[in-house]
Amino acid sequence: MGIIEIVSIGIIAAIFVLLLQEKQPTIAFLIILLTVLYLFIYLIQYVQEILQLVTYLGEQANIHHFYIKTILQIIGISYIAEIGSNIVKDAGLESIALKIELIGKVFIIILAIPIFKSLIETIINLFPIS
């Protein structure tokens, strides 16, 4: 399936949502949710290829596996939080969407702490304070 098919699915879903939104808002939201889930599942196969490439390049560059794994987790959290937030916004629940975004950011900070700590330790070792 190529980009034409993906865009077609999005347009068809959007037309159904627009037609049903006023009389059947629950069904319209369900169409949105199912469309997003379908596209996400479709995308996973390509994401796996990208992850394998990034891991391979990291190994070739002699970058510790922990850093690559953490950065990929951060990117994944970012995308998942954004998709979830957008779905909730489509349901008209802006306040919950903002909380999803905030929690995603907190998770990112938690994952980044060990990398930040390692960076600070490396700088301290390069430029001793004494």
| Buried-state track 49-85, b at ≥16 Cβ within 10 A, e below 16 | eeeeeeeeebeeeeeeeeebebbbebeebeeebeebb
Q: Report pLDDT digits (tens) over 24-77.
A: 999 998 999 999 899 988 888 888 888 888 888 888 888 888 888 898 899 999
Task: Give the whole-number percent of the chain exceeding pLDDT 70.
Answer: 98
Q: Would you list the domain boundaries of the chain?
A: 64-130
Task: Identify the band that residue 80 occupies on the pLDDT scale cut at 50, 70 and 90.
Answer: very high
How much is the pTM?
A: 0.75
